[in-house]
Each structure stands twice: as C-alpha cells, then as structure tokens.
Structure 1
Amino acid sequence: MIDRPDHWRAPPDLRAASVAQREMAEAAETTDRFGPVATIAGVDTSMKWRDSRGPIHAAAAPIAWPDATPLTASSVSVIPPIPYVPGYLGFREAPAIVAAVEALECRPDLLIVDGHGRPHPRRCGIAVHVGVLLDIPSIGCAKTILCGTVEGDLGPDVGDRVALVDRGELVGYALRTRPKTAPVYIGSGHRVSLDSAVDWILKISDGRRLPLPIRLAHDAANVARRNYAAADQ
C-alpha cells in the first residue's frame, strides 16, 4: 500500500472517519487514468451471519483480459478494527481487501469491487476507499442502493441504464446487465470515469447479473470463511 494518512485507514472515531471519507473522496480521480488492462481483479468479502465483530474473509480474484481466464485468487482473514456501522463499511472491510489484493501474484490493472463507489453520502464507498488506498483504478458494482434515487424507467435490455442521482449530483447508474433481472448500481471508484465504469461492467458480465471477477471473488471469500471455521473446530 502506498503512503496514506493514518486516519484514512484507522480513524479514532466516527467524526474523524467522516473527515477521512471526505478527504478520500476529494483525492479520488473521476476521469480515466489507466493504461492497457491485462488483469482485472474482483474483490469481495464474507463473514459469519450476524457476527459484527468476527473475522472478515476477503478475496481478490483476478482474470486475464481479454480472454477472461481466471487466475490464482488470494484470500485473507482479518479481525475488523470496528463493528459494522452504516456508511462506514470501508473502515471495516478495507484492511482485509487491501491485504488480499497485495497478496496477489501481480498487481491488477483494474479492480471491480462488490460495493459502492461514489454513490455514498460522502462519496466514499468501498470502491473509492480501496482504490485510493491502493492507487489502483477501481469500479464499484453494488446490488442495492445506498443513497440517491433512480431517475427514470430502466429499460429491459442489456446495457439499458438510468441515472442514480443524489442531492442533484449524478453519482452512478442503475445498469441492466441481464434481461428480466434486477439491475446493478455502478459508480466510479478511482481513476475510472463513470462512463468507462459502465462499459467495463458490461464487457465482463458475460450474460450474468454480476461481473465474472466479483463472482469468482465471492466464491473465494466463502471458501476462506469455511476453511477458517473448519480450522477453528
């Protein structure tokens, strides 16, 4: 991880956490700044149901691009520094996600994060948080809305999108990635524009609701959780 202020990783209280989120949102780049993409990694976490303080099991699952061949995933299990607090998920999950990404055999060119980017009350969802900490281009792909409203009717076809707007600001898109299936909510994380984020999600969703790297990371994180539980018995 590159050098970042300590309170971006471990703020002493929620007031400092809010300040850190606003600073990271300001530091996040919302225009394209990435080179050729040869490796795309999805990141996701898993944890024991209703366990707000137990370990976070994070996985980073890369694919080669453009052939979409899965590469070796990495996973870590980390006791989170704070329990779950709505709006502050990044401080709970980012340490484990960052460790999983840093454990990969090679640094990915693009991160697809299971969670929000700028569609966040302080514009610092987990995709912004992780992307800024690692300084890796990142995209948020969430399954539900955290903030804002969808303005307009979403069409039925793959690629149809409508604006996700919060307090008058376009923060993301509701995007149809599979017919007759609920949309995903796409937001820029870091060093990727919103339009490019949508384009990439469509490229790697291969007819499924969630993009391939996130599906692989989801599976890897669940394997890490089960292995941890088995070792603890």
Structure 2
Amino acid sequence: MSETSRSRAAYARLPRDEAEAVAIQTELAGCVVAADDDRPIATVAGLDIAYDKYGRTAIATAVVLRRSDLAVLDRSIVRGVSDFPYVPGLLAFRELPLLLEAVAALKTTPDLYVCDGYGLTHPRRFGLACHLGVVLDAPAIGVAKNPPHLPVTAPGPGRGDWTPITAGEETVGCALRTQDGVKPVYVSVGHRCTLATARELVLGLAPDFRLPEPIRAADQLGRNRLAACGKADPTIT
C-alpha cells in the first residue's frame, strides 16, 4: 500500500471527538480533485443508509447500475451500528464506516459513486461525497434532497433547468430540476469530477423520477431490509 493510500485509510477511522473530526475534514478538503477522469463512466453505484427509529442501528446499501440502461448489476447490504453521534456538518463520520463496508462487499467496482448527501456544498467544503471519494480515491458526486446552508435561487420549472450554488466567488454546486415542475435536487462535486459532468450525469440517471436511479435503488433496498428486520425483531439489536 502506498503512503497516500495509508494516509487515506487512516482518515476512514472514527475521530475521538468533534474537534478531531473538524480537523480531519479541514485537512482532507485539500485532497479533493474537481476535475474529470479520463476513464469513461459505464457503471454507477448509489449509496444510502437507513436508520431504525432510535437512530443507532443502520442498514447501509450499495447498488451498482449500468449507466446505459440503468440495469442493476450488483448490490450489497450491511447492517451495523453508527458509533459517531449525529452532529450537523459531521455526518460523514456517522455514515462512512458502514458505507465503506457496503462498497467492499460489492463484487463489481463501479466507475462512479453517487452519495445521498453533499460534496463541496458543505461548510468546510468536505461533505460525505468528498470524504468517500477521497478515501476510495474514486469519482464521486453528492446529490442532496434538501438545500444546503448556502443561499439557493430556484431554477426554472423545466427538466434540466439549474442555478449555481456559490460560496463567496466560488461555485460549489447547483440546484437541478430533474423533472418538470418537481422540486430540484442539489448536486455537488465529491471527487475526481467537475460540476458540469456531475450535473449531466445526475440528469441522465433520473429519467423518470426526481432522484437519480442509483440512489433510489439503494434507498428502496435499505428501507425494505430495515422493515424486514423490524418485523422479525422489533428491537433491531
């Protein structure tokens, strides 16, 4: 393993406290590459986590789809406990360990990861999509259902309409309308991808619904498994 790989692996661990978590985000934010890879994107993995009602036990899911026809090629499910508390701005430390387990359980290595969350549209420019992309050193984008902490102007009503999300003079994401007259999603770079490419990919991966299909598939898989676990064991321990 290279020194860079060892360094990235070290930052996949849980921090001791919030201060260390912020320090890790601040340091690793400098590792984000907002440029496209030369390799074409043929397969895309959607990642998601579903929590039980008490918020500790979680189901992490990864679903790999073929980009051309959105056929499911692979999927994985990991059940575990989130040991890091919910802290605004530090969500990656709560979700990343289980998501990495779900990625490791895949038999297919996707060309791109799509996270249900933020990338650069984060107070320290290092949301979940950035953290996962840097740790894996793989192309990743963030697609959030809710607007970020930054001001956002609503895009036009038509599919494909979008508006930039800026922080100072920097464009860190966009609000993208994936379906006519439906609420936009909020797209941002995670790693090894430009915003223009991320926007194009998300629109292509959402032919029929608001959310891109990889995230929809991962969300449905997790919710179904969590519901099945709940019926079998109401405490889900």
Q: 1:149-189 CA deviation, whole Å, 9 max, x = no partner? A: 114x5111111110112234211000000111110000000
Give, in whole Å, the separation in 2 of the partners of 1:23 and 1:231. Answer: 43
Partner of 1:11: 15
Q: Is the 8 Å Cα contact of residues 57 and 76 (structure 1) preserved in structure 2?
A: yes
Give, in whole Å, the separation in 2 of the partners of 1:191 and 1:34. Answer: 10
Partner of 2:182: 181
Structural mapping, 1:119-134, within 5 Å: 119-134=121-136
Partner of 2:44: 40
Amino acid at match of 2:69: D
Q: Is the 8 Å Cα contact of residues 7 and 17 (structure 1) preserved in structure 2?
A: no
1:110 matched to 2:112: yes
Query: Aligned-residue CA RMSD in angstroms?
Result: 1.7
Partner of 1:193: 194
Gaps of 5+ in 1: none
Q: Percent identity?
A: 38
The CA deviation at 1:66 is: 1.2
- Count of aligned residue pairs for this structure pair: 230
Give, in whole Å, the separation in 2 of the partners of 1:55 and 1:131. Answer: 24
Q: Is the 8 Å Cα contact of residues 176 and 182 (structure 1) preserved in structure 2?
A: yes
The CA deviation at 1:231 is: 4.3
TM-score by length of 2: 0.91
Partner of 2:90: 88
Give, in whole Å, the separation in 1 of the partners of 2:224 and 2:137. Answer: 27
Change (3 A) 1:126 1:34: farther
Q: Is the 8 Å Cα contact of residues 181 and 209 (structure 1) preserved in structure 2?
A: yes
Amino acid at match of 2:215: I
Q: Is the 8 Å Cα contact of residues 64 and 108 (structure 2) preserved in structure 1?
A: no
1:214 matched to 2:218: no
SS at match of 2:73: coil
Partner of 2:224: 223
Change (3 A) 1:8 1:71: closer
1:159 matched to 2:163: no
Amino acid at match of 2:52: K
Give, in whole Å, the separation in 2 of the partners of 1:7 and 1:32. Answer: 24
Give, in whole Å, the separation in 1 of the partners of 2:192 and 2:11. Answer: 22
Give, in whole Å, the separation in 2 of the partners of 1:159 and 1:5. Answer: 37
Write out the 4+ residue segments of structure 1 that deviate beyond 4 Å after TM superposition: none
Give, in whole Å, the separation in 1 of the partners of 2:180 and 2:127. Answer: 27
Q: Is the 8 Å Cα contact of residues 177 and 184 (structure 2) preserved in structure 1?
A: yes
Give, in whole Å, the separation in 1 of the partners of 2:211 and 2:69. Answer: 18
Structural mapping, 1:31-70, within 5 Å: 31-49=35-53, 51-52=54-55, 54-70=56-72
Give, in whole Å, the separation in 2 of the partners of 1:104 and 1:186. Answer: 25
The CA deviation at 1:6 is: 2.7
Give, in whole Å, the separation in 1 of the partners of 2:70 and 2:64. Answer: 9
Give, in whole Å, the separation in 1 of the partners of 2:97 and 2:126. Answer: 15
The CA deviation at 1:89 is: 0.3
Q: 1:83-125 CA deviation, whole Å, 9 max, x = no partner? A: 2111100000001111111111111111111111110000111
Partner of 1:28: 32
Amino acid at match of 1:9: R
Partner of 1:149: 151
Amino acid at match of 1:144: N
Q: Is the 8 Å Cα contact of residues 12 and 96 (structure 2) preserved in structure 1?
A: no
